[in-house]
Amino acid sequence: MDFKGESLGQAELQAMDTLDPQLRDHALLTEQAFNLTGEVLGLGWLPETPLREVSQSRKVLTALLVRFSNDLRSAALLALRGYPIQAVALVASMYEVAYAIVYIGADDSLAQKWIDHNDPIRPFRKIKDLTREVWKRLDVTNADGQTKAQYRVYQQLCWAKHANPLFQTQQTYQLHDGNVVARNGPDTSDSAIRAAWFALEHAARLSSLAVAAYVESHIPADQRGDLKNKIEMIGAGSQELARKAAPRFGTEDPFPGKW
């Protein structure tokens, strides 16, 4: 990127100023989700509890939720500084972690299988299978439809994660003064804003899914307080962001007939 005499740090600060009004609601929602995750972890993992008394499923879900929450914060920081492709790629990993959390839940046998998984080149479970099993378990009226819709979101997130050529060329090249240019550094273009919006909207939605599963599995009912309301607020917030995105960015398939 041509910083025109600015340092990279200055360029990123300028990008943050430009992006703040565009992504303020996303920033606030993901920060609320991060704080809620910390609150839940504080209830679910008590330092005075001997490790031998902690179930395998609580050990695994705690580790996964810590990872998830730090990915959530990192994705927000990337998006708000003008690195939307990197944010989208990170949210793809968050999808994998969130669905593993819901899938394992309070099942110690599944947690032990996660612990014993020793294949460094394959995931614990295929992500499509995880998605299918989660929506079956959630007992929704249209589990097959939800599986298809949510896995389609995951595929879109993976366009960035895997540097898919169709997606990558859309995000790399920009028209500037009548010329096509490729720049590195922070990006505040319309396509960047759209990608950042998509990333943080789904990061928040995945947060409500993962945190709800942890609470249901490992927080006693008498200690949950208003956690349910807070989780529902995060979910409703992500739905509101999706509602606002449709008229702004459209709903057309960017690659019709190709996937």
Average pLDDT over residues 31-45: 95
Give residue 4's pLDDT band: very low, low, confident or very high (50, 70, 90). Answer: low
Confidence band of 1 (pLDDT split at 50, 70, 90): very low
Amino acid at 57: S
Nearest in space to 55 (alpha carbons), one of 45, 69, 65 = 45
Most confident among 4-13, 137-146, 170-179, 200-209 (mean pLDDT): 200-209
CB 94 within 8 A of CB 75: yes
The pTM score is: 0.92
> What would the mean pLDDT of 83-106 be, rounded to a whole number?
98
Look up tokens 């960047």; give the residue: 192
The dihedrals phi and psi of 255, each to the nearest 5 degrees, come to: -135, 65
**Mean pLDDT of the 193-210 span:** 97
> What percent of the chain has a predicted confidence (pLDDT) above 90?
79
How would you write the chain as a 3-class SS string? CCCCCCCHHHHHHHHHHHHHHHHHHHHHHHHHHHHHHHHHHHHHCCCCCCHHHCCHHHHHHHHHHHHHHHHHHHHHHHHHCCCHHHHHHHHHHHHHHHHHHHHHCCCHHHHHHHHHCCCCCCCCCCHHHHHHHHHHHCCCCCHHHHHHHHHHHHHHHHHHHCCCHHHHHHHHEEEECCEEEECCCCCCCHHHHHHHHHHHHHHHHHHHHHHHHHHHHHCCHHHCCCHHHHHHHHHHHHHHHHHHHHHHHCCCCCCCCCC
Q: Which of 43-47, 184-188, 239-243 has the lowest mean pLDDT?
A: 43-47
**60-72: per-residue pLDDT in tens?**
999 999 999 999 9
**208 vs 2: which has the higher pLDDT:** 208
pLDDT tens column, 131-161: 999 999 887 889 999 999 999 999 999 999 9
Task: Assign 182 a pLDDT band (cuts: 50, 70, 90).
Answer: confident
- Residue-wise pLDDT for 110-120, tens only, equals 999 999 999 99
